[in-house]
Amino acid sequence: MAIDIARVYDAKGSDPAGKFLIDRLWPRGLAKADAPFEAWLKEIAPSPELRKWYSHEVEKYDEFVRRYREELAEAAAEEQLDRLRKRARRGRVQLLTATKDLEHSSAAVLRDVLAP
């Protein structure tokens, strides 16, 4: 199972197969007609409250990871997590996000949650 993370802006113009936007908000400056991904899975993004609390402050990252994993354990996220796991068994999956700091993002947490 191969799961990568990348910025949605870097994927622009590429084949959308196996790529999934995992942000709750639509990426600024990206036209929906140019969406470089297979699907938008906003339901597995961090809640608005958690996203605002974290605000990409790296010193809060460990607590963000703990809280986001709790959210992902809820039934509402399970269907989309299963979808990603099934897709990853068939081939490479790329989780796309608009954030600049990939290693301290929800994409990194989600990649680790999905890894076998």
Q: pLDDT, tens digit, for every residue of 47-75?
A: 999 999 999 999 999 999 999 999 999 88
**Given this model, what pLDDT does residue 39 score?**
92
Q: Please give the average per-residue pLDDT across 2-12, as a whole number.
A: 90
Residue among 86, 78, 52, 84 nearest 67 (CA): 52
Is the Cβ–Cβ distance between 95 and 105 less than 8 Å?
A: no
Of the pLDDT bands very low, low, confident and very high (cuts 50, 70, 90), residue 109 is very high
Nearest to 51 by CA among 98, 106, 89, 103: 106
DSSP letters, 12-73, are: TTS--TTEEE--SSPPTT--GGG--SSEE-GGGSPPHHHHHHHTT-GGGHHHHHHHHHHHHT
| Span of 31-35, 67-71, 97-101 with lowest mean pLDDT | 31-35
Indicate the number of domains in the chain: 1
pLDDT of residue 102: 96
> Is the confidence at residue 95, as pLDDT, over 70?
yes
Q: Would you say residue 1 has pLDDT above 80?
A: no
21 neighbors 107 (Cβ within 8 angstroms): no
- Whole-model pTM above 0.85? yes
Q: Which domain holds residue 78?
A: 3-114
- CA dist 112 and 116 (Å) reads 8
Task: Give CA–CA dist 78/74, Å, rounded.
Answer: 7
Q: Look up residue 69 and give its two tokens.
A: 């994993």
